[in-house]
Amino acid sequence: MRINDNFWLGLLIGAAVFALCFLLLSLIPWGVAYRRAPYLLAFVPGIVLFRMSMVKWEMEKIGKGILLVTFVGMLLVFFLI
């Protein structure tokens, strides 16, 4: 089954991967000094997924959606937390 190359699907995949990883990382008791750690570590799978979608699977629109979610999310973490 071939997945259609769609920007909106990339946004959805990027948000879902971030949410799942953040939920798993939030179970770890982080200290006060590392309060940004679960947010920033949750973006790492999105970066890996972006690279795989662009290079290995050749799905550019999905990759761009994943990159947009990752980039905007990192900016929000740095400026709001």
Q: What is the 3-state secondary structure (H, E, C) of the chain?
A: CCCCCCHHHHHHHHHHHHHHHHHHHCCCCCCHHHCCHHHHHHCHHHHHHHHHHHHHCCCHHHHHHHHHHHHHHHHHHHHHC
Contact 38, 30 (CB under 8 A): yes
Q: Is residue 61 part of a domain?
A: yes
Domain span including residue 59: 7-80
Q: Is residue 43 part of a domain?
A: yes
Q: Is residue 67 part of a domain?
A: yes
Q: Is residue 68 part of a domain?
A: yes
Q: Is residue 2 part of a domain?
A: no
Q: What pLDDT shows up at residue 1?
A: 67
pTM greater than the 0.85 cutoff? yes
What mean pLDDT value characterizes the chain? 92
Query: Closest Cα partner for 62 from 14, 21, 20?
Result: 14
Q: Is residue 18 part of a domain?
A: yes
Q: Is residue 38 part of a domain?
A: yes
Q: Which residues of the chain have pLDDT under 70?
A: 1
Q: What pLDDT shows up at residue 21?
A: 96
Q: What pLDDT shows up at residue 70?
A: 94
